[in-house]
Amino acid sequence: MTSNPPNRPLIEVRGLHRYFGKTKAVQDMSFKVFPGEVFGYIGPNGAGKTTSMRILATLDEPTYGNAFVDGFSVVDDPDRVRRRLGFMPDYFGAYQNVNVYEYLDFFARSYGLRGAQRTGAIHYVMDFTQLDKLADKPIDGLSKGMKQRLCLGRTMIHDPAVLILDEPAAGLDPRARIELREMIALLAKNGKAVLISSHILTELAEICDRVGIIEQGKLLAVGSVDEISGRAETISKVQVRVLDGTERLITWLTARDDIADIVQKDRGVAFTHEGGPPKQAELLKQLVQAEFAVVDFASKTKSLEDVFLHVTEGRVQ
């Protein structure tokens, strides 16, 4: 496999469209994922996540547009793309009468690994996914979590530069999720580009460097969670506590145009403030200048769920 210059994205989607008859599953989607980056794909069911992932995995063709893996078109050079790409679908394709080792061995052979290179890759993957003790176990008898590990192992058996993981944490218990998250973080640390979709937004927020919010086939926002929150943040909730003079503070706040919904709480005042972080900083400065003894000033940081709901404008069903 050829080396990848750091400025070249490992995944590049350019104006991707995919129509199924009159249904527009993917519309004008564009984004890039660079080496060592984990890119989260967020969207409700039927938003077009799996369709676009399948196109990237060379399992489907776009109606218009193109997608590139390490600079190779998924439409024109699928064979070159496949050498660089590992795809973990949201289902587990199980073969009958095959054990864990044989399953991995088959895929290693299918990716052209021979001899010591193949056995080395199988042992590395089994060690990485902690499946080494289950080598002889038939895959039909594996638990959901073990199957997901095996599926991840199959995805990375040929050491691809790009990993596309469609709902890898679905159906896993909390412990297995944490372990999966750690594995993905390790893969990214090793320089792989990871495109991951999940319904569990808190999980994505923790491991993703950037996220793309997709709805009805359209990519609505791309960036880090903070960037998107920043862009989305026009009104935020703020809580202020002063040593004394709470009543005076309420009067002072009521006089301002950028403040509303003032509520006196246990030991402070909560309100909504129109404006992003710079205006909040300005507000704090003015409070201090107005000789309030501010002991606590907190604005609630938006979670990925808040951002998602804000960006999708609550259209998600």
Partner 1 sequence: MSTADANTTEAERPTQATSNWRNWLEVLEHRVVGLLEWANPILVKETRQALKSKQFLLTFAIVLVACWIVSFAGRAIIGPQIFYIASGQDMLVAYYAILAFPLAVIVPFSAFRSLSAEKEDNTYDLLSITTLSSQQVITGKLGSAILQILIYFSVVSPCIAFTFLLRGVDAVSVALLLGVTLLASIGMSLIGLLAGTMASVRYTQMLLSVGLVLGMAFAFFGAVGVTPELLRESHKMIQDRDFWIGLGGVLTLYLTTFGLLHTAAAAQISFPSENRSTRIRYWMLLQQACFVAWMTVPPLLYPDEPEAVPVLACAAVGIGLIYWYVMGSIMTGEWPHLSRRVQRSLPSSLVGRSLFSWLNPGPASGYVFAVANSGALVALGLITLWANAPFPPFGLSATQISQFMLLGWCYLIIFLGLGRLLVSVLRRVAFVPLAAAFLVHLILMMAAIGVPAVIYSMSSQFRSSGYSLLLATNPFWTLSEVLESGLVSGREMLVYLLPAAAIVTFLLNLRAIGAELSRHRIAAPARVYEEEEELHPHPEPSPTSPWEEDPREPAKV
| Binding positions for partner 1, rule: CB under 8 A | 2, 57-59, 61, 70-73, 75-80, 82-83, 85, 87, 89, 91-98, 102, 105-107, 109-112, 114-115, 118, 154, 158
Q: Which residue has the tokens 């095959």?
A: 98
Q: Which is nearer to partner 1, 106 or 128 (CB)?
A: 106
Distance in Å, CB of 129 to partner 1, minimum: 16
Distance in Å, CB of 198 to partner 1, minimum: 20
Could you give phi then psi for residue 111, rounded to 5 degrees? -95, 10
How many Å is the Cα radius of gyration of the chain?
Answer: 24
> The tokens of 36 are what?
């060592």
Q: Which is nearer to partner 1, 94 or 178 (CB)?
A: 94
| 222 φ/ψ sector (left φ>0, alpha ψ -120 to 50, else beta) | beta
- Give the Cα separation of 90 and 184 in Å (integer): 16
Distance in Å, CB of 147 to partner 1, minimum: 12
Q: Which is nearer to partner 1, 57 or 242 (CB)?
A: 57
Q: Which is nearer to partner 1, 69 or 205 (CB)?
A: 69
Q: What is the H or E stretch that residue 175 is in?
A: helix 174-189
| Spatial CB neighbours of 279, under 8 Å, sequence gap ≥ 6 | 258, 273
> The tokens of 169 are what?
């944490």
Q: Which is nearer to partner 1, 109 or 144 (CB)?
A: 109
Q: Which is nearer to partner 1, 6 or 93 (CB)?
A: 93
Q: Which is nearer to partner 1, 79 or 266 (CB)?
A: 79
- Give the Cα separation of 40 and 146 in Å (integer): 23
Distance in Å, CB of 162 to partner 1, minimum: 12
Strands 294-299 and 235-242: antiparallel
- Give the Cα separation of 259 and 83 in Å (integer): 56
Distance in Å, CB of 60 to partner 1, minimum: 9
- Give the Cα separation of 114 and 200 in Å (integer): 39
SS3 state of residue 167: coil
